[in-house]
């Protein structure tokens, strides 16, 4: 079996978990990781680390972009232009279609594949929502997240000037409505009012009820556990009162990483272009032969 040569870009919470997942698969070969510093990763000292993909001697098939969401479009284009497939976990829902369209143009030009917004939400939850709509086309779906840490929101707060450290918690209030609790360590000399306003007007927070609390030690509060509950009540044909529920409680970075790696596998089986998870055949995410999975699952 020819293994898929992969690199991990970034070594934060998700990047470390992507490395863990890759080391526990049979069809990937982890070539190394990219860090701005080029320094070894303390948790994985034997993994080769470079500052640029051009420094690796082996041909790279897939780059897993475990980087802040707002950096994804630029970096993805750079890898795609080298003919390397990319997988990201872009999570600003309102911009996903625009990013997909933008990356599709580059991917097709260089015969590569970009899997956009791979993770559990957006990502596998999107697949579940799509399936529930197929089962009951008319109706309503409610998604309740948490309680738990939102990685995307936390990274967004950390990027705000005047923030030393931060944690954003998602608290469900029911019927798909959420409250954001943001804990902030202020940088020296920063203004509480300025930082709080910047958080509440950021695209990640502007549509939710957001409470900002200033603390001395954010790390004392951190827990990467999260969860989701999807419910749909709808109509199949003319028959109403069809009720469905999907619920999970998970380690946020670990599940995001697992879905990203599965998406990287799918990327090698797709025609060039950009895809979200709902556009990819489910069997393409699975390790092994398609016919074997059909026999096992159908």
pLDDT of residue 215: 96
Task: Determine the Cα–Cα distance for residues 147 and 228; give it in Å rounded to an integer.
Answer: 8
Contact yes or no for 29/5 (Cβ under 8 A): yes
> Phi, psi at residue 256, to the nearest 5°?
-55, -45
147 in a structural domain: yes
Instruction: Report pLDDT for 278.
Output: 98
CATH number, position 29: 3.40.50.720
Total domains, the chain: 2
| Statement to judge: residues 219 and 282 lie in one domain | no
Q: What is the CA radius of gyration of the chain?
A: 20
Position 86 in a domain:
yes
Q: Three-state SS for 184?
A: strand
Tens digits of residue pLDDT in 255-293: 999 999 999 999 999 999 999 999 999 999 999 999 999
List 209's β-bridge partners, or say none.
Answer: 179
Same domain, yes or no: 262 and 115? yes
Identify whether residues 259 and 176 lie together within a single domain: no
Q: What is the pLDDT of residues 45-70, one digit of tens each?
A: 999 999 999 999 999 999 999 999 99
Determine, yes or no, domain membership for 263. yes
Cα–Cα dist 33/66, whole Å: 10
CATH code, 173: 3.30.360.10
The last residue of a domain, from among 236, 260, 279: 236
Whether residue 131 lies inside any domain: the answer is: no
154 lies in some domain: yes
The span from the CA of 76 to the CA of 274, in Å, is 11
pTM to 2 decimal places: 0.90
- The pLDDT assigned to 20 comes to 98
**Residue 132 in domain:** no
- For residue 9, what pLDDT is reported? 98
Q: Do residues 259 and 232 share a domain?
A: no
Residues (pLDDT < 70) of the chain are none
In a domain, 129, yes or no: no
Please tell me the predicted confidence (pLDDT) of residue 53: 97
Residues 61 and 167 in one domain: no
Tell me what pLDDT residue 175 has.
84
Q: Which residues pair with 174 in a beta bridge?
A: 177
Domain that holds residue 166: 138-236
For residue 217, the surrounding DSSP H or E stretch is none
Residue 243 belongs to some domain of the structure: no
């Amino acid at each position: 079996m020819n293994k898929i040569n992969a690199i991990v870009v970034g070594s934060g919470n998700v990047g470390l978990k992507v490395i863990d997942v890759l080391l526990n698969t049979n069809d990937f070969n982890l070539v190394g990781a990219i860090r701005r510093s080029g320094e070894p990763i303390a948790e994985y000292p034997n993994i080769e680390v470079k500052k640029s993909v051009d420094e690796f001697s082996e041909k790279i098939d897939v780059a897993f972009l475990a980087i802040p969401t707002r950096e994804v479009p630029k970096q993805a284009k750079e890898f795609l232009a080298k003919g390397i497939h990319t997988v990201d976990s872009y999570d600003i829902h309102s911009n996903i279609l625009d990013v997909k369209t933008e990356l599709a143009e580059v991917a097709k030009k260089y015969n590569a594949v970009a899997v956009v917004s791979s993770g559990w939400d957006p990502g596998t939850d999107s697949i579940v929502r799509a399936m529930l709509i197929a089962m009951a086309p008319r109706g309503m779906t409610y998604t309740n997240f948490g309680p738990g840490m939102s990685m995307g929101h936390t990274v967004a707060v950390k990027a705000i000037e005047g923030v030393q450290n931060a944690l954003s918690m998602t608290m469900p209030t029911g019927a798909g409505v959420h409250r954001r609790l943001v804990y902030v360590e202020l940088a020296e000399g920063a203004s509480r009012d300025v930082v709080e306003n910047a958080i509440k007007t950021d695209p990640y927070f502007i549509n939710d009820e957001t409470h900002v609390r200033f603390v001395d030690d954010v790390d004392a509060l951190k827990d990467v556990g999260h969860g989701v509950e999807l419910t749909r009540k709808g109509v199949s044909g003319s028959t109403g009162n069809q009720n469905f529920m999907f619920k999970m409680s998970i380690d946020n970075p670990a599940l995001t990483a697992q879905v990203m790696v599965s998406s990287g596998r799918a990327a090698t089986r797709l025609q060039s272009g950009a895809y979200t998870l709902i556009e990819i055949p489910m069997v393409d995410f699975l390790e092994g032969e398609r016919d074997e999975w059909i026999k096992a699952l159908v």
